[in-house]
Amino acid sequence: MLDTNTNRPELPPEIARRRTFAIISHPDAGKTTLTEKFLLYGGAIQMAGQVRAKGEARRTRSDFMKMEQDRGISVSASAMSFDFGKYRFNLVDTPGHSDFSEDTYRTLTAVDAAVMVIDGAKGVESQTQKLFEVCRLRDLPILTFCNKMDRESRDTFDIIDEIQENLAIDVSPASWPIGMGRDFMGTYDLLNDRLELMDRADRNVVAETIEINGLDDPKLAEHVPEHLLEKFLEEVEMAKELLPTLDPQSVLEGHMTPIWFGSAINSFGVQELMQGIANYGPEPQPQQADPRAIAPEEKKVAGFVFKVQANMDPKHRDRVAFMRLASGHFKRGMKLTHVRSKKPMAVSNPVLFLASDRELAEEAWAGDIIGIPNHGQLRIGDTLTEGEMIRATGIPSFAPELLQTVRAGDPMKAKHLEKALMQFAEEGAAKVFKPNIGSGFIVGVVGALQFEVLASRIELEYGLPVRFEQSQFTSARWIIGDKDEVEKLVNANKQHIAHDNDGDPVFLTRLQWDIDRVERDYPDLKLSATKEMM
Ligand code: G4P
C-alpha cells in the first residue's frame, strides 16, 4: 500500500517507528544538555548528568582524550539509541568543532533529519549556519529548538526572522514563549493548545501542562499574570498573521522548520520537541546507491559505513565501524558481503549504543546504527549487503585545506609511521599523500587542530614521536579522467604528483594558478576537490 503523504510504500512497523537524526548547533548552544534530557525521557539514563559524567570517565582513560577534554572539544562522534513512546530514536552525535567538519558532514549522510539547537540570546551562529548548509545539500528536514529561554534572550520575532533570512527557510512556531529571562514562565503549545509551565525549582521535573480551549479561554488569565498575558496574546496574534502555519510536507522536503522554545537545562520544552521528532521527523528514507537506490523496506540487509573510530576501547586497540542500516532486518551473526573486497564477513559482535554504554546488538532494522568492531577491514564508504554488488553513494571525501609534511623523529621508524598514517587515513581522520618525488608523507587536514591531534595519537598509539613541517604545497586535487590522459599529466608534472592511501593520483598545488594551468592544458581532465569514498 502507498502512504498517501509520501507516495512510498508503507514501511513495516518496526522500520516506520524509527527516527534517525543528528543535532546541529554552535558550541555552547546546549547540545550536550539537550542530549542528556533526550536520554532521560527516553528512559536510557536514570539521572541527567550521566552523559557528561560517563563521558569524562571514558576520556580520562587516555591522554589523547584528555587533550580533547582540555580543549573542550568533542572529537569523537557516537550514536545513541533510546525509545520514546512507541518510537525508537537513533541520535547520531556530530562533533561540534569546525576543525572536524568533514566528519560531521559524513555523519549527516547517515541521518534522516536534524535538530538545530540555537541559543535564544545569540540566534544563528557561524557553525550552525555551516552545518545547516550541509543539511540543505541533502534537503534534510530540520526541527529547531531555541534554547536557554530561561535567560535574557532576543525578541521572538527577531529570532524567527533571523532564521528565515540567514538560512532561507520558512519558520513556523510550534510553541510560543511567555515572558522572557527572569520572567520566562513557559510556553503556549500552538499545535495542541496547551500551556506548559516551567518549574524553576526542579530542573529534572516535567513541566506542568494545562489544557486550554483556544486563546480566548479565561483559564489563560488564571495562570498567566496580566502584564505577560497581554504581550503574549498580541504576539501570537501577529505570529498567526505573519508566519506560515505548520505544513508537514514542507518540513519533510526541507523547506520549512518548526520551532520550539525551551530550556534544556530545566528539561523544559524537550518532550514537545521529541514529540515533534516523532510526528514530523521522517521514517527511514531510501539510500542513494550504485547501480540502484536502496529502499528501507527491502527484505535483504544492506548498510554503509559512515564513520570509523579507533580508541573506543584503548585496551583492545580495536576500531569500530559505524554502519547505517539502509534496508532489511539485521540479526547478529549474519554473514554479509563486503562489497569492496567481494569477501564474506560474519558480523558476530555488532554493538548498539544504548545511552553511553555499548551493548551487543541482537537485531537491528533499517534506520538503525550499529557498531562493527574490526581490525581495519571496514573503511568509510564501504557497503555491506547480503550478496548484491551494490554500493552506497554520496559519502564524500573533501580535499584538505591544509597540508604539512610529516617525518618520524627516528628515521629508522619510517615504516611504522606509514602504518600509523594509513590507519588514520582509513579512519577518515586525515588525508595521506605519498609524493612521487622525495621521501616522507604529506598529510592533509581540514582544520589546523587536527595536526596536533594526529601527532599526539601517533605518539600515544604507536610510540612514535613525529614532526609536522610546513609543506611547499597548499592544496590537493584528485585527477579525474581518461587513464592515458591522466598518465600524460602525471609524467609531465612529477614534482606535483602524489598518490593517496587508495593509490589514486592527486595533483598538489601551490596556487590557484597551478589548477588553472592544468585545466587549460588538459581540458579533458578534471581536478576535483572531492572524491567519493569507496
Ligand atoms: P554544547 O554541548 O552545545 O556545547 O552545550 P552544553 O550543553 O554543554 O551547554 C553549554 C552551557 O550552557 C552549559 O553551561 C550548560 O549548562 C548551559 N545550558 C544549557 N542549556 C541551558 C538552558 O536551557 N539554560 C541555561 N541558562 N543554560 C543552559 P556551562 O556553565 O558551560 O557548563 P555546566 O557547568 O553548567 O555544565
Return the minimum-mean-pLDDT range out of 336-340, 358-362, 378-382, 528-532: 358-362
**Alpha-carbon torsion, ordered 44, 46, 48, 51, to 10 deg:** -50
pLDDT at 354: 63
pLDDT of residue 146 exceeding 70: yes
Q: Are residues 89 and 184 in the same domain?
A: yes
Looking at the domain assignment, is residue 206 inside a domain?
A: yes
Does the annotation flag 150 for ligand binding?
yes
Inside any domain, residue 3: no
**Which residue intervals of 175-225 are DSSP H helices?**
219-223
For residues 267 and 302, state if they share a domain.
no
**Closest approach atom of ligand 1 to CA 25:** 3
Query: Is 411 found in the same domain as 346?
Result: no
Structural domain range at position 321? 289-392
- Is 397 annotated to bind a ligand? Reply is no
Same structural domain, 385 and 403 = no
Atom of ligand 1 nearest to the CA of 266: 23
| pLDDT single digits (tens) 409-434 | 888 888 889 988 988 888 787 899 99
Examine the domain organization and report whether 272 and 296 are in the same domain. Answer: no
**Does 59 map to a domain?**
yes
Question: Does one domain contain both 33 and 172?
Answer: yes
DSSP string covering 53-113: HHHHHHHTTSHHHHHHHHHT------EEEEEETTEEEEEEP---SGGGHHHHHHHHTT-SE
Q: Are residues 108 and 89 in the same domain?
A: yes
Q: Determine whether the annotation assigns residue 161 to a binding site.
A: no
Structural domain total, the chain:
3
Helices (H), 384-496: 414-427, 449-462, 483-492
Answer whether residue 1 is part of any domain. no
**Domain boundary pick from 227, 249, 280:** 280
CA distance 340 to 109: 19
- For the ranges 65-79, 125-139, 229-243, 427-441, the one whose mean pLDDT is highest: 229-243
Cα 186 off chain centre by: 30
Of 346, 373, 392, at which residue does a domain stop? 392
Residue 5 lies in a domain: no
27 lines ligand 1 (CB under 6 A): yes
- Ligand 1: atom nearest CA of 262 is 23
What pLDDT score does 299 carry?
96
DSSP 473-515: --EEEEEES-HHHHHHHHHHTGGGEEE-TTS-EEEEESSHHHH
What percent of the chain has a predicted confidence (pLDDT) above 90?
57
What does the block give as the cell for 72? 573542550
208 within domain boundaries: yes
The secondary structure element, H or E, covering residue 16 is helix 13-16
Q: Is the pLDDT of residue 366 over 90?
A: yes
Give the whole-angstrom CA distance, residue 41 versus residue 204.
10
* CA–CA gap between residue 169 and residue 408 (Å, rounded): 49
Would residue 187 count as lying in a domain? Answer: yes
Residue 147: enclosing H or E segment and its boundaries?
strand 142-147
* Domain at 404, CATH number: 3.30.70.3280
Distance (Å, rounded) from C-alpha 97 to C-alpha 405? 24
Same domain, 276 and 300: no
Task: Clarify whether residues 274 and 297 are in a common domain.
Answer: no
Greater pLDDT, 110 or 428 = 110
Check whether 416 is labelled as a binding-site residue. Answer: no
Can you give the pLDDT at residue 360? 72
397 close to ligand 1 (CB < 6 Angstrom): no
Residues 96, 240, single domain; the answer is yes
Residue 49 CA to ligand 1 centre (angstroms): 11
Shared domain check, 198 and 260: yes
Which of 280, 298, 333 lies at the terminal end of a domain, its last residue?
Answer: 280
Higher pLDDT, 180 or 8: 180
Do 308 and 351 fall into the same domain?
yes
Q: Is the CB of 30 under 6 A from ligand 1?
A: yes
